[in-house]
């Protein structure tokens, strides 16, 4: 028996709707396996700006810090996107959470589902069987380096220190050891000093992992390789900005952004969240795909070494796809699309009966 204290951060847009489905699955699995679970709900993003003027309030930080894990959904609201003068933005809440919880390693798996290959904008024979992890550094680089902006000049600083690079590369090498022992270090070492330090440190560390085949790839080349030959990759590790861009590209391989979960881990409580955003246009319509959120719950269990629990969720998701219990973004043409809550309920029912 395990005991899980979960901080739930539903956030904005479709966040609250998919959050309900994630929590439902979490509870069903805990009931099935005799685990105890408790939830503490906390505000973030635009919702928290509206309520208390801060996208990651102290009380939310406290709830996250005390929890075993955070189940995060999405933040973002169009009323801030089109206002470059806004002093606070929902996304700052996400960045504050990453920084304050020391979540330096963002694990984003890219996988395909056989029955959804036709949804990918790439040819099925290219994407079939693609299965890799992007490990994105999450608390350094341009996102957090010194910034300046006036009317005529602006800059962001892509600062990385040796300890920051070493700890994320270590995560990369360790995942490669657990998988197919192939690590690709993605950088722009032909132009950027920060990238040259990454590459130098990776070369220093590689001999300690003799079983891992380590290669180095410029980010522009990696962006091309990912769509030409996604099966080439096993584990890739890269800096914050490159990882942001490459993981959106990676999500197209699967066919829908609504399918990809992620885990952010580091010094404090780990966070599990879909890689997609808050899709404000769909807010309240009960049409958003809850699978990325539900698969984030699978990653949560796996993080705590509850492998069977994670595997059951993955089986339930596969079964729901086979049974056409799918939201509109991935439904077979001509078949009726299910709502967010119908897909969630289908998966909970499968778990109960398993
Ligand atoms: C992501 C998102 C965020 C990022 C935004 C919302 C700040 O795009 O998690 O990939 O850039 O990191
Ligand atoms: Mg992104």
Cα 244 to ligand 1 centroid, rounded to whole Å:
6
Q: Is the CB of 47 under 6 A from ligand 1?
A: no
Burial (CB < 10 A; 0-12, 13-18, 19+), residue 99, is middle
Backbone angles phi, psi at 333, to 5 degrees: -60, 135
The C-alpha angle 203, 208, 210, rounded to 5 degrees, equals 90
335: pLDDT strictly greater than 80 = yes
Ligand 1 atom with least separation from CA of 244: 10
Find the catalytic residue in 248, 283, 303, 318: 248
This model's pTM is above 0.85: yes
Mean pLDDT of 76-83: 88
**Pocket probe mutation, ligand 1, options 90, 91, 242, max atoms within 8 Å of Cβ:** 91
Cα 186 to ligand 1 centroid, rounded to whole Å:
19
Cα 138 to ligand 1 centroid, rounded to whole Å:
10
Task: Tell me what pLDDT residue 254 has.
Answer: 86
Q: Is the CB of 244 under 6 A from ligand 1?
A: yes
Find the catalytic residue in 47, 54, 77, 143: 143
Mean pLDDT of 81-96: 88
Q: What structural domains and CATH numbers belong to the chain? A: 1-103+267-354 (3.40.718.10), 105-256 (3.40.718.10)
> Between β-strands 235-238 and 131-137, what pairing exists: parallel, antiparallel or unpaired?
parallel
Mean pLDDT of 289-305: 97
Backbone angles phi, psi at 274, to 5 degrees: -65, 155
318: pLDDT strictly greater than 90 = yes
Q: Residue holding tokens 């440190």?
A: 201
Distances (CA, A) of 143 to 38, 272, 295: 33, 20, 27
Q: Which residues contact 75 (CB under 8 A, 6 or more apart)?
A: 11, 12, 15, 44, 45, 46, 55, 90, 91, 93, 94, 278
Split at pLDDT 50, 70, 90, the class of 114 is confident
Task: Tell me what pLDDT residue 81 has.
Answer: 82
Find the catalytic residue in 188, 209, 234, 329: 188
158's tokens: 């892509």
Q: Is the CB of 187 under 6 A from ligand 1?
A: no
Q: Which residues contact 174 (CB under 8 A, 6 or more apart)?
A: none
Cα 100 to ligand 1 centroid, rounded to whole Å:
16
Split at pLDDT 50, 70, 90, the class of 255 is confident
Q: Is the CB of 249 under 6 A from ligand 1?
A: no
Please tell me the distance from the alpha carbon of residue 348 to that of residue 313, in angstroms, as a whole number: 9
Split at pLDDT 50, 70, 90, the class of 135 is very high
Mean pLDDT of 70-94: 90
Task: Tell me what pLDDT residue 209 has.
Answer: 98
Ligand 1 atom with least separation from CA of 277: 6
Ion ligand 2 — residues with CB < 5 Å = 244
**Considering the chain, what is the average pLDDT of its residues?**
96
pLDDT, tens only, 140-199? 999 999 999 999 999 999 999 999 999 999 999 999 999 999 999 999 999 999 999 999
137's tokens: 């550094």
Q: Is the CB of 349 under 6 A from ligand 1?
A: no
pLDDT, tens only, 203-252? 999 999 999 999 999 999 999 999 999 999 999 999 999 999 999 899 88
Split at pLDDT 50, 70, 90, the class of 119 is confident
Q: Is the CB of 174 under 6 A from ligand 1?
A: no
Query: Residue with the nearest Cα to atom 2 of ligand 1?
Result: 244
Query: Residue with the nearest Cα to atom 7 of ligand 1?
Result: 91
CB atoms within 10 A of CB 60: 26
82: pLDDT strictly greater than 90 = no
Long-range contact pairs involving 164-169 (C-beta distance under 8 Å, separation at least 24): 164/104, 164/137, 164/139, 164/140, 165/137, 165/197, 165/198, 165/201, 166/201, 166/205, 167/104, 167/105, 168/104, 168/105, 168/135, 168/137, 168/237, 169/198, 169/201, 169/202, 169/205, 169/237
Task: Tell me what pLDDT residue 208 has.
Answer: 98
118: pLDDT strictly greater than 90 = no
DSSP string computed for 38-93: EEEE---HHHHHHHHS-SS-HHHHHHHHHSSEEEEEE---HHHHT-TT-SS-HHHH
Mean pLDDT of 26-40: 98
Mean pLDDT of 287-299: 97
**Pocket probe mutation, ligand 1, options 74, 80, 94, 136, max atoms within 8 Å of Cβ:** 94
């Amino acid at each position: 028996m395990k005991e899980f204290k979960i901080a739930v951060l539903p956030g904005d847009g479709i966040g609250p709707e998919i959050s309900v489905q994630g929590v439902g699955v979490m509870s069903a699995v805990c009931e099935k396996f005799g685990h105890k679970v408790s939830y503490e709900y906390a505000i973030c993003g635009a919702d928290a700006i509206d309520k208390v003027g801060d996208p990651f309030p102290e009380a939310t930080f406290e709830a996250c810090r005390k929890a075993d894990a955070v189940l995060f959904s999405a933040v973002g609201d169009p009323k801030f996107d089109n206002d470059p003068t806004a002093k606070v933005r929902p996304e700052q809440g996400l960045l504050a959470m990453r920084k304050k919880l020391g979540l330096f390693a963002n694990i984003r798996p890219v996988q395909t589902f056989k029955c959804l290959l036709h949804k990918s904008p790439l040819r099925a024979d290219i994407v079939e069987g693609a299965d890799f992890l992007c490990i994105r550094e999450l608390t350094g680089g341009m996102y957090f380096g010194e910034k300046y902006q006036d009317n005529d000049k602006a800059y962001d600083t892509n600062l990385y220190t040796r300890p920051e690079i070493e700890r994320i590369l270590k995560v990369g090498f360790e995942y490669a050891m657990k998988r197919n022992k192939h690590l690709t270090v993605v950088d722009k070492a032909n132009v950027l000093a920060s990238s040259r330090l990454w590459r130098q440190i990776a070369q220093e560390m590689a001999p300690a992992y003799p079983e891992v085949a380590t290669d180095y790839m410029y980010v522009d080349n990696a962006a091309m390789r990912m769509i030409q030959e996604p099966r080439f990759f096993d584990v890739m590790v890269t800096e914050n900005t490159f990882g942001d861009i490459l993981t959106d590209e990676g999500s197209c391989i699967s066919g829908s952004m609504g399918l990809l979960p992620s885990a952010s881990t580091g010094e404090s409580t780990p966070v599990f969240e879909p890689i997609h955003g808050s899709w404000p246009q769909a807010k309240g319509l009960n049409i958003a795909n809850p699978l990325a959120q539900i698969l984030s719950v699978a990653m949560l269990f796996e993080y705590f070494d509850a492998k069977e629990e994670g595997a059951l969720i993955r089986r339930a998701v596969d079964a729901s796809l086979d049974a056409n219990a799918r939201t509109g973004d991935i439904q077979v043409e001509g078949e009726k699309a299910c709502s967010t809550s119908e897909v969630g309920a289908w998966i909970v029912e499968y778990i109960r009966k398993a």
